[in-house]
Amino acid sequence: MQIKEDSIIYYSKQKTMRGLRVVGAFFALGILLPIIFSSDAWAYFFGILIIIASTLVGLNIYKYYANKQPQIIVNDNGIQTSKIPFSAWKDIKGEDVVEISEGRTTGYYLIYDCPFGHAKHSLSFLDTNYSALSGVLKMYRDRSRQDEAKPSGNSMVS
């Protein structure tokens, strides 16, 4: 007998706190810059710019920290993300975790094709990584294939 349970992935409190600490360091730099270089106008300009940018980035990261909703749910029946409704394994094609380079940044994404279109969900700040999510996808896809291969039990032999 197989145990049926979901793999539920949330935003990582550890990753978001790390991001908030980095933003806090930049915020402090923005405050200290005009204090250290009080006679230079550029210090005030860059200090204010750093404070504004770090505040905006910090608010965005805090939004992830405060979000308690599941971001990705994978189980024997299919996949659901916070952006794409549930799709059954029979309707999903090409599920994978990929590394995508966009300009100077590189990120990992869960991608798959489903009846709702092409799903692309970033793993940034999630409580998972490339190898763990790849393993989960493979495990549940294999289980779904095994369930499809089982005889239905209601076929008649004549």
The pLDDT tens digits for 127-144 are 999 999 999 999 999 998
Q: In whole angstroms, how far apart are CA 77 and each of 62, 86, 88, 152?
A: 32, 9, 6, 17
Query: In the prediction, which pLDDT does 148 show?
Result: 77
Indicate the pLDDT class of residue 1, thresholds 50, 70 and 90: very low
Model confidence at 16, pLDDT cuts 50, 70, 90, reads: very high
Task: Count Cβ atoms below 10 Å from residue 86 Cβ, excluding itself.
Answer: 14
Is residue 87's pLDDT more than 90? yes
As a residue count, the chain comes to 158
> What per-residue confidence (pLDDT) applies to 152?
62
Mean pLDDT throughout 66-83? 96
Q: What is the mean pLDDT of residues 75-88?
A: 95
pLDDT cut 90: percent of the chain above it: 83
Region 66-93: mean pLDDT is: 95
Phi, psi values for residue 86, rounded to 5°: -55, 135
The pair of three-digit structure tokens given for residue 153, joined into one six-digit string: 């039990």
Contact between residue 131 and residue 100 where contact means Cβ atoms under 8 Å apart: no
pLDDT at 157 over 60: no
- Average pLDDT of span 112-122: 95
CA distance linking residue 118 with residue 112, whole number of Å: 6
| CA atoms of 11 and 129, how far apart (whole Å) | 12
pLDDT value of residue 86: 96
In whole angstroms, what is the distance from residue 97 CA to residue 123 CA?
9
- pLDDT given at position 153: 57
